[in-house]
Structure 1
Amino acid sequence: MKLELRHQHSWEVTPKQAIAIQNRLREFVSLRDDLPEQIRCVAGVDVGFEENGTVTRAAVVNLSVPDLLPIDSAVARRPTSFPYVPGLLSFREIPAILDALENLGDLPDVVLVDGQGYAHPRRLGIACHLGVLTDIPTIGVGKTRLLGAHDDVPDLRGAWVPLVDRGETIGAVLRTRQGVKPVYISPGHRISLSGAVEWVMRCTTRYRLPETTRHAHHLASG
């Protein structure tokens, strides 16, 4: 099955126009579990930069479920056309990610994105943005916190506490492994917060980051 976008917009925009696009697209974000009945593969997405940031390099790695073995991967490069602006990461990275997804043999059933989902000032982080455009269930897996506050996370594998912003739970601070820093999980599209946490744990073995993120990061950093 090839990639077909459900929504499209220009990528040649100003930061002000990008914010307007985010405010429009967030109306399409679904935070309910709407996954395929049979999940055969889950993908990791990560992005790096080459030539002093002038070239965006996106990597997508498809892993089999449940054994988490790489079965397909793709790398795409394109000139970087949007500046680094906090909160607008998706406009810098998604064009190359879409190219990489188009180069896969089969589209993944679920995508774990290196970055935020709903845990975003306008509730449209890169995972939400990618999910709305592609209509693929997506999850944001952040190494650091973008915004929000939380209590301490118990030092137990699988323990998590809510990440809260302005009284709203926007994500989870998840301890994927005892004795290591937690990660910041938020739903992207077509998945609930509890579903996002469950899938991140299903994709995590003996490392802090899920296997999806680890494989994609290795390929993106090449």
Structure 2
Amino acid sequence: MKTIRTPADEAEARALQDELRGLVVRDEPGPPPGTGRVTGVDVAYDDERDIVAAAAVVLDAATLDVVEEATAVGRVSFPYVPGLLAFREIPTVLAALESLTSDPGLVVCDGYGLAHPRRFGLAAHLGVVTGLPSIGVAKNPFTFSYEPPGTRRGDSSPLLADDGEEVGAALRTRDGVKPVFVSVGHRVDLPTARAHTLRLTPRYRLPESTRHADALCRRALREATAATAAPPGAAPDGRE
């Protein structure tokens, strides 16, 4: 895992992003869907207290059973700048991943990889710094365009930049339900990323990895903010 430094300002962040983007591997297919482990990561914020909570939830890729989960809580160390969101999230997400004793396998981010204005979203950034295969599965298409895919589960259409570059796919995971937006991060190709996403969505629109990680990071944030709000000398859970 690479050493992570927090940029001093926006210019340094963009320079670091450019440096790391050159390390993305796109010529590997990635792990076969339904094999090994899949780990969902997600974050939740308390902007008033500058607190961020991250969760990493490891699933068995074949059964989608939870194998292990971990959380980390930290201070937001970088301001919100469009296109540079990963710098706010990466330190705490890495802390959660490093707490795991299981091999994370494929990492699934609630966000973007190649489908990013600078072609280096959270999934790509996290993949490069960890060396793990990674994909992004987002709820909306960000700034990109697409033709609606067919109405059946598994139907997809290209997610396109203004210049026509294909940066991902709009993928229907439930019949007649709004698609999700899949993009490669690191060491995975787009067909494999789509296949993993379908394996991870047997019942709902969003991947089980994301659903578990979202619930866990929200719980971790509630517990952290409750602790910071407790009166001096009081136990966070109300016990003496």
1:103-143 C-alpha deviation (Å, 9 max, x unpaired): 01113110100110100111100000000011100000111
Q: How many residues align?
A: 217
TM-aligned CA distance change 1:221 to 1:31, over 3 Å: same
Matched, 1:194 2:154: no
Report the Cα distance in structure 2 between the residues aligned to 1:40 and 1:137, rounded to whole angstroms: 12
Matched, 1:82 2:75: no
Letter in 1 for 2:56: V
Runs of at least 5 residues in structure 1 that lack an aligned partner in the other structure: none
SS at match of 2:22: helix
Deviates most, 46-55 or 118-127: 46-55
CA-CA distance at 1:203 after TM superposition: 1.0
Report the Cα distance in structure 2 between the residues aligned to 1:158 and 1:202, rounded to whole angstroms: 10
Q: Of residues 17, 21, 39 in structure 1, which corresponds to 2:16?
A: 21
Kindly, what percent of the aligned residue pairs are identical?
Answer: 44
Q: Of residues 150, 159, 163 in structure 2, which corresponds to 1:163?
A: 159
Report the Cα distance in structure 2 between the residues aligned to 1:217 and 1:122, rounded to whole angstroms: 26
Report the Cα distance in structure 2 between the residues aligned to 1:124 and 1:173, rounded to whole angstroms: 18
Structure number with greater Rg is 2
Q: Of residues 115, 126, 147 in structure 2, which corresponds to 1:119?
A: 115
Letter in 1 for 2:21: R
Runs of at least 5 residues in structure 2 that lack an aligned partner in the other structure: 220-240
Deviates most, 33-42 or 194-203: 33-42
1:101 touches 1:107 (CA, 8 Å); kept in 2?
A: no
Report the Cα distance in structure 2 between the residues aligned to 1:122 and 1:40, rounded to whole angstroms: 31
TM score, norm. by length of structure 2: 0.86
Deviant stretches of 4+, over 2 Å: 32-39, 50-53
Report the Cα distance in structure 1 between the residues aligned to 2:200 and 2:95, rounded to whole angstroms: 24
CA-CA distance at 1:36 after TM superposition: 4.9
Report the Cα distance in structure 2 between the residues aligned to 1:214 and 1:98, rounded to whole angstroms: 19
Matched, 1:206 2:226: no
Report the Cα distance in structure 2 between the residues aligned to 1:113 and 1:161, rounded to whole angstroms: 20
2:141 touches 2:159 (CA, 8 Å); kept in 1?
A: no
Letter in 2 for 1:52: E
SS at match of 2:176: coil
Report the Cα distance in structure 1 between the residues aligned to 2:15 and 2:166, rounded to whole angstroms: 23
Report the Cα distance in structure 2 between the residues aligned to 1:51 and 1:25, rounded to whole angstroms: 28
TM score, norm. by length of structure 1: 0.93
